[in-house]
Structure 1
Amino acid sequence: MDTQHDIALTRALAEVPGPLPLSGVIHLAIPHTSRFTVVGNHLAQHPELSLTAIGIGVHIQSLPAGSQVSIKALAARFAEGETTIAAALRELETHGYLHRTRERLPNGRMITRTVFCNRPGALLRGGAVVPVTVAPVTVVTPVAPAPVLAPEPTPVPEEAHPPVRLPSRIAPKPPRRPLPLPRELTSELRRAASALLADLRRHAPELVLSEDDVEELVPGAAAWLERGAHPDAIRHALTTELPQPPKYPAKIVRHRLTALLPPPLPGSQELAPVRRTPVTPFQTCEGCDRAFRSPAPGHCRDCRAQYWEAA
């Protein structure tokens, strides 16, 4: 079987028009006759989507309407975990491919309406769409408007068919916290912080920082050193449990320098022991054996009053 496959592959390559490239992929474009899905390069080659998001987007687009595409359904189908799949679905939502909304049915039950659009750009431009509304998945496929062969019907006022707007589930990102700064960035602090940041790749090969990255992050590392943090403790905080693979090492280091900044060391006054108010001890009355508080043994108040009256 392998020999036959190799022979067939050699024959197919011989029929590829033009010279074959010396490196890179060579495409054997064999036309599909059944069970195929048309996927736009804007999704397959999206510059901002992760490979997981692109794969899940292609998978959802290939499914028939009504298929289950929840996080648990996809996690049961693929080897990726629910956290990875949830992050990929959020990416597709951010770029307009996926829309998930909560709707209430006439019987009062709440459902999640999932809409996947294969061309978000065409949807935003107001192109014609062919909707397939089989709950809980609705696949919207924009197509070019067909030529009009019959006489045009009587125009309907625009108010009768208001445009359908899909609700946005993209929450605005909170502003990024500023990088911590030392009270005074001395030359000694700058030199120590720069050396610490440049040395991170020895302990975590993934954290390769450029010279510009090191220069930008020096104040944050200097703030840690100024607060008395040991270089080994800073290095451990920046290199432990890194995401795999780390896409943006400088952003990871910046986030940890900002979010994990320790408080300043307390002074000697804050660490002084708390002074306690002295407590007067209990004594036993020599006259009635009653307990009372007094710095020295003797008689209680009632017994002393009786002795004074008798005197």
Structure 2
Amino acid sequence: MDIQQNTALTRALAEVPGPLPTFGVIHITLPHTDRFTVVGNHLAQHPDLSCTAVGIAVRIQSLPQGAKVGIKALAARCKEGEKRIAAALRELEAHGYLRRVRERLPSGRIITRTVFCNQPAALLHPRRPAAEAPAPVPAPVQEPAPVPAPAPVPAPVPMQEPAPAPVCPPMAAPEVPVAPPAPSAPLFVPHVPPPTAPKAPRRPLPQPSELTSELDRAATAFLSDLHRHAPQFATSEDDVRRLVPGVAAWLERAARPDAIRRALTDDPPHPLKHPAKLLAHRLTELLPPAPPGVDALAALDRPRPRFAVTPFQTCEDCDRAFRSPDPGHCRDCRETRAAYAQTAA
């Protein structure tokens, strides 16, 4: 059976100008007449953006004004999951293509506005105002030819007054140099550091206050026996010697071996490529606090001081409750009795 030939493709290849390359892609470019979006090469060939981020950017750029471009809205239109779409949006936000701003409406409702710029690098340079068009020069009006006038009669010549002395023109004020306008702040400020940003240095492995022979022996035995409980955590002899101070620091802080083993080997990533690096990370980040001293424990067991509480009493006249060490009358009844005694006297 012969191989079917695509005559349309063969005809299109024949119309490609110039010789065809012997390897690589061959472009057949047909002009679009409707339903197309212009995408710059700065986005399509961005060296730091993933293909998912470029595809999501093209999808957002092709949507009409006011379309929903949230994570759930894009997940309903694309085959990628919400996690990949969220990561792609963070990449676009880090490189200035996307910006999400929270605003409060006059009604008090808070909304999130999503702004997409198809060329964020152009926002960093101030736009030049359009050059003013020169004013049209009016065409000269052709005047009619003058009519010859009769010869004038000579008149007496008057006395000429002396010409006024020339007046010096006023000195122009020196020009003050105008400072160039300050560059405007960029509209898109990335909130997420780019992948090329320098990372913070790693914290050092914890060290015990004193690496005694007992701690060294116990930590070495713990690390050497770790692969028996978790086979994916098989380490070399050099890794064991490097991780011994970290395990000794845990043992010094009264951590039990089974608790250390559970904290180091629980829920590892799959596949685990570098078990020694994961152990060093967990030994550093999950280090338990130092146990409290004897004085701190004694302060916890010390009885708290008790405060004397004045009991409630019931007034003998109005049955009102009031605080007093002895029964009797409340303050209002005492004042009433004192006023009545003064009146009677």
TM-score by length of 1: 0.50
- Trace 1:54-73 onto structure 2 (pairs within 5 A): 54-73=54-73
Give 3-state SS (helix, strand or coil) of 2:116's partner. Answer: strand
Q: Does 1:30 align with 2:28?
A: yes
Question: Is the alpha carbon distance of 1:167 and 1:7 closer, same or farther for their aligned partners in structure 2, counting shifts above 3 Å?
Answer: closer
Match of 1:18 among 21, 39, 60: 21
**TM superposition shift of 1:31:** 1.6
Match of 2:156 in 1: none
Please give the per-residue CA displacement for 1:149-204, whole angstroms capped at 9, x wherever unaligned: 8349xxxxx9xxx9575374617899677244122578968988998999xxx728
Match of 1:260 among 282, 286, 304: 286
Question: Is the alpha carbon distance of 1:250 and 1:204 closer, same or farther for their aligned partners in structure 2, counting shifts above 3 Å?
Answer: closer
**TM superposition shift of 1:73:** 0.5
**TM superposition shift of 1:101:** 0.7
Q: Give, in whole Å, the separation in 1 of the partners of 2:65 and 2:51.
A: 24
1:104–1:111 Cα contact (<8 Å) kept: yes
Match of 1:150 in 2: 133
Q: Does 1:76 align with 2:101?
A: no
Q: Give, in whole Å, the separation in 2 of the partners of 1:220 and 1:171.
A: 33
Please give the per-residue CA displacement for 1:194-221, whole angstroms capped at 9, x wherever unaligned: 98999xxx7289xx99x9x999988656
Q: Give, in whole Å, the separation in 2 of the partners of 1:89 and 1:114.
A: 11
**TM superposition shift of 1:89:** 1.5
**TM superposition shift of 1:29:** 1.4
**TM superposition shift of 1:95:** 1.7
Please give the per-residue CA displacement for 1:126-149, whole angstroms capped at 9, x wherever unaligned: 154xxxxxxxxxxxxxxxx79858
Q: Give, in whole Å, the separation in 2 of the partners of 1:95 and 1:40.
A: 15
Question: Is the alpha carbon distance of 1:223 and 1:120 closer, same or farther for their aligned partners in structure 2, counting shifts above 3 Å?
Answer: farther
Larger radius of gyration: 2
Structure with a larger share of its residues in strand: 1
2:226–2:233 Cα contact (<8 Å) kept: no
**TM superposition shift of 1:120:** 2.4
The runs of 5 or more residues in structure 1 that have no matched partner are 21-25, 129-144, 153-157, 276-311
- Percent identity over the alignment is 52
Question: Is the alpha carbon distance of 1:251 and 1:204 closer, same or farther for their aligned partners in structure 2, counting shifts above 3 Å?
Answer: closer
Q: State the aligned residue count.
A: 242
Give 3-state SS (helix, strand or coil) of 1:111's partner. Answer: strand
Question: Is the alpha carbon distance of 1:178 and 1:103 closer, same or farther for their aligned partners in structure 2, counting shifts above 3 Å?
Answer: same
1:33 partner amino acid: P
Q: Does 1:118 align with 2:118?
A: yes
Q: Give, in whole Å, the separation in 1 of the partners of 2:131 and 2:287.
A: 66
Deviating more after overlay: 220-229 vs 83-92: 220-229
**TM superposition shift of 1:265:** 8.2
Q: Give, in whole Å, the separation in 1 of the partners of 2:248 and 2:272.
A: 24
Please give the per-residue CA displacement for 1:28-79, whole angstroms capped at 9, x wherever unaligned: 3122422443434443444443443333222212323222101120122223
Q: Give, in whole Å, the separation in 2 of the partners of 1:44 and 1:68.
A: 23
1:203 partner amino acid: Q
Match of 1:94 in 2: 94
Q: Give, in whole Å, the separation in 2 of the partners of 1:19 and 1:178.
A: 54
1:225–1:231 Cα contact (<8 Å) kept: no
TM-score by length of 2: 0.46
Q: Give, in whole Å, the separation in 2 of the partners of 1:85 and 1:104.
A: 26
1:150 partner amino acid: A
Please give the per-residue CA displacement for 1:243-290, whole angstroms capped at 9, x wherever unaligned: x799999986665443333456899xx9xxxx9xxxxxxxxxxxxxxx
CA-atom RMSD, angstroms? Answer: 5.9
